[in-house]
A and B are shown apart, each in its own frame.
Chain A
Amino acid sequence: MSAVSGVREAFWDDPVKRAIALFIAMFVLIAITGVLQGGASILLISTQATAFALIALGLNIQWGYGGLFNFAVMGFLMAGGASTVFLSYPVNPAFWDSDGPMLLARALAAFLVGLGIVMLARRVDRIGIRGGVRTTLIVLAWLAAYILYRSQIDPAAAYIESTAGFVGGLGLNPLIGWAFGGLIAGLIALFIGRVSLGLRTDYLAIATIGMSEILRALIKNMDWLTRGTMTVSPVPWPMPLPQNLQQTGMSIPDSFLYARGGFLAIALLVLIVIFVMVQRAYGSPWGRMMRAIRDNHIAAGSMGKNVTGRQLELFIFGSILMGIGGAMLVSFSQIFDPSGYQPINHTFMIWVMVIVGGAGNNFGVVLGAFLIYFVWVLSDPLAQLIFLNLSQVTSSLGWGAIPEIDSRALQMRVFVLGVVITLALRYAPKGLLPEVIRRER
């Protein structure tokens, strides 16, 4: 008896065997879902899970490699999504033929002038103005810049919204849109990181979540750029849509299988390429330095490592992956709806993926992403099943049926997510596949 448990323990302690076993379990789960829900549905869930795996890898770079508490995941996903819409959506001639581009150019000029004023005000200590006077000047400069920008952008926004609706896109290939999404997310990360990376843990968490809410408010309300709550659709795919395949004479179920399968293939390709890069970076001297900074930033700093600079690097790299993943999600669902982004679905769920999978272990994080996304998606039909059965019991007892089963069952996902993260923190705080630190003997 004890021998058996001893063998089992040895099996679980070996990271490679453990990873293989858990990945097999994951594929079995996917296969069972596929059999139950049909091929088109499993391809849909798998593609989204792949995008989330990419995003979770991004968070793993930040939290697992660097110990940076980023609660702004949602903001980066939105930025990536909005960028890919801007690049890949068909050109809107109504906008380009109107005075819109001119007005926008003036707004941009006003923005740059405002930026210049603020920059100049920050440098007044060069001509001997210091202390309170300098602070007052900077505040006044900010105010002047804000008023200048608002005076140009407000009429431009109103004009574009009334004549052309919104600026439309550039009509480029969505794959370029994904890269652009990563680029924009990286730029935003550069700004957020420069501003907030001096803060530690709790403060950083609150600062980043605040900034992601600011970003959300901006994207949601800049109707001239993103159409805001009116949503943009259909966002084009990088490959033929099911509808295109149907036009060539393919049957409807087959067209969905092939189109989604093609999208999944591209998404997986992107994931694998980035995974290999991230995994190699982890094993390199660069990764070792990052772990040193994470585990003891003071010691690393005294060894001559530029702690803030390196952390900014991590923050940007991770955010680029989040931007690409967010762009992928928007491309796939073909609709960009800023009000559809919630901290629960787009920040906390990613965190659960990373914690449950195992922060610092890329294999674990990918496993966690797929596992949690499947649990998230499957909670809904399972809860519906439970509620329907319960409802039968209660109505047979004469208490009446449970009302609004559909909308309630949907909320079960949130509860299950909470239970999963709580159990993980309690019983497997290092995740399913803990970080493996290789030591030379």
Chain B
Amino acid sequence: VDELVFFINRVLISGTVLGCIYALGAIGVTLIFGILRFAHFAHGDMMTMGAFLAFVLAGAATALGIVTPLPTGFVVLPIAMVLAAGIALYLDKGFYAPLRRRGAKPVTLLIASIGVTLMLQGLIRLIFGSGTTSFFQTEPKEIFRIDVSALGATRPISITEPQVLMFIVTAILVLALHYFLTRSRLGKAMRAMADNADLAQVSGINTALVVRVTWLIAGALACVAGTMLALDVALMPDLAFNIVLPIFAAAIVGGLGHVYGAILGGFLIAFAETLAVFNWTALLRPMAGVLPEGWALPPNLALVPTEYKLTVAFVILVITLLARPTGIFKGASS
């Protein structure tokens, strides 16, 4: 049973956490691609920016003496989401909308998003320096230990408080998004426009409004994803830059333009990464007695060395693009 606990701690929990982050990021990428037809490379930096917004707000809350039982990072999250959504809206107004009005090709918008990436990254590093900070400098990171000794395990299942909150927040956001897309008029308009933008416009859908809502949702979700990543690991300026490619991988595996595909893709990539670097010897150890004479378990039976963890996402991405470029669900093409 110890082996199972180890598996849960190392794969199930960390995979789910990573999956939540990837899924929330990939939803934004996929929505923007569905509506505006370009790969938004600045999404990773929108995540970092959201995390830093939450960080500043959390610092302000602590300075004001607001103490809550929850980690401050989560308490300020709604405000940070609103701010990040607003910034996303203005990024569109300032950098993408003028190009769209000129009738620029999607490729130009993609290059413009590289420009936005560079500017955001430069600004974040100018303001916050390039060092590493943490949300948990003033408050402790609570760890829940679920005792499973009744089942014969010697080690407990351990999960941190932010991780539990992450699962809850992600579930709420995904459900809310699901109801928004299927039940509300605006959500249906969004899906219509993702399907066929010209048809949506002639049937009287306010496309400008749909574009605005897309940026609001994408910005808010990016902020949540970035903050979660910062809460789980640490806060640094190049945090999300490393993660923007796995997010693209998730969105493409799920089929660009498909919200549910993005969620699925996010978890798929996250679990593929954690399973690939997981050392299977730990799980197979009880079988050592069963093995025939002369067979020994190698000390490390991980599929790929830990250094190549991020590479797993790219390999999956490349295979998907080659074998089924439209993703699991049939995605939009550019």
What's the dominant secondary structure at chain A's contact region?
A: helix
Please tell me if B121 contacts chain A, counting CB pairs below 8 Å: yes
Q: How far is the CA of A419 from the CA of B310 in the complex (A)?
A: 30
Known interface pairs A422-B112, A422-B115. Does A211 touch B334 (Cβ–Cβ under 8 Å)? no
Of B106, B114, B311, B313, which is within 8 A of A202 by CB? B106
Q: Do B116 and A210 touch (CB < 8 A)? A: no
Please tell me if A203 contacts chain B, counting CB pairs below 8 Å: yes
Please tell me if B249 contacts chain A, counting CB pairs below 8 Å: yes
Q: Do A206 and B248 touch (CB < 8 A)? A: yes
Mark contacts of A182-216 with chain B using CB atoms, 8 A cut-off: 1 yes-contact digit, 0 otherwise: 00000000000001100111110111011101100
Please tell me if B286 contacts chain A, counting CB pairs below 8 Å: no
Please tell me if B123 contacts chain A, counting CB pairs below 8 Å: yes
Known interface pairs A201-B107, A213-B310, A407-B129. Does A425 touch B121 (Cβ–Cβ under 8 Å)? no
Q: How far is the CB of A431 from chain B (nearest CB, A)?
A: 12
Which chain B residue has the least Cβ–Cβ distance from A135? B323
Q: How far is the CA of A55 from the CA of B108 in the complex (A)?
A: 21
Q: How far is the CB of B111 from chain A (nearest CB, A)?
A: 6
Q: Do B115 and A217 touch (CB < 8 A)? A: no
Mark contacts of B238-272 with chain A using CB atoms, 8 A cut-off: 1 yes-contact digit, 0 otherwise: 00010001001100100000000000000000000
Which chain A residue has the least Cβ–Cβ distance from B309? A217
Contacts of B305 in A (CB 8 A): 221
Q: How far is the CA of A213 from the CA of B102 in the complex (A)?
A: 34
Q: How far is the CA of A419 from the CA of B114 in the complex (A)?
A: 11
Which chain B residue has the least Cβ–Cβ distance from A407? B130
Counted as pairs of residues, one from A and one from B, with CB atoms less than 8 Å apart, the total is: 133
Contacts of B241 in A (CB 8 A): 343
Please tell me if B333 contacts chain A, counting CB pairs below 8 Å: yes
Contacts of B130 in A (CB 8 A): 407, 411
Q: Within residues 136 to 154 of chain B, which ones have a CB less than 8 A from any CB in chain A?
A: none
Q: Do A412 and B325 touch (CB < 8 A)? A: no
Please tell me if B293 contacts chain A, counting CB pairs below 8 Å: no
Please tell me if B119 contacts chain A, counting CB pairs below 8 Å: yes
Q: Do A351 and B321 touch (CB < 8 A)? A: no
Which chain B residue has the least Cβ–Cβ distance from A143? B303
Q: Within residues 55 to 81 of chain A, which ones have a CB less than 8 A from any CB in chain B?
A: 69
Q: How far is the CB of B265 from chain A (nearest CB, A)?
A: 13
Please count how many residues in chain A sit with their CB below 8 Å of the partner chain's CB atoms: 43
Please tell me if A262 contacts chain B, counting CB pairs below 8 Å: no
Q: Within residues 136 to 162 of chain A, which ones have a CB less than 8 A from any CB in chain B?
A: none
What's the dominant secondary structure at chain B's contact region?
A: helix
Q: Do A201 and B318 touch (CB < 8 A)? A: no
Q: How far is the CA of A203 from the CA of B241 in the complex (A)?
A: 18
Of A69, A213, A417, which is within 8 A of B245 by CB? A213
Known interface pairs A199-B325, A422-B115. Does A221 touch B307 (Cβ–Cβ under 8 Å)? yes
Q: How far is the CB of B25 from chain A (nearest CB, A)?
A: 14
Q: How far is the CB of A366 from chain B (nearest CB, A)?
A: 20
Q: How far is the CB of A226 from chain B (nearest CB, A)?
A: 13
Q: How far is the CB of B35 from chain A (nearest CB, A)?
A: 14
Of A203, A211, A221, A348, which is within 8 A of B314 by CB? A211
Q: How far is the CA of A408 from the CA of B123 in the complex (A)?
A: 10
Query: Which among B99, B310, B311, B333 has the greatest number of chain A C-beta atoms within 10 A?
Result: B311
Of A201, A207, A343, which is within 8 A of B334 by CB? A201
Q: How far is the CA of A380 from the CA of B61 in the complex (A)?
A: 35
Residues of B at the A interface (CB closer than 8 Å) are: 33, 38-39, 95, 98-99, 102, 104, 106-108, 110-112, 114-123, 125-126, 129-130, 241, 245, 248-249, 252, 305, 307-308, 310-311, 313-315, 317-318, 321-322, 325, 333-334
A–B pairs, 9, beta carbons within 8 Å: A199-B325, A202-B110, A203-B252, A403-B129, A415-B121, A415-B123, A419-B115, A419-B119, A421-B111
Known: A200-B334, A411-B121, A421-B111. 5 other contacts (CB 8 A): A210-B248, A210-B314, A404-B129, A414-B122, A416-B122
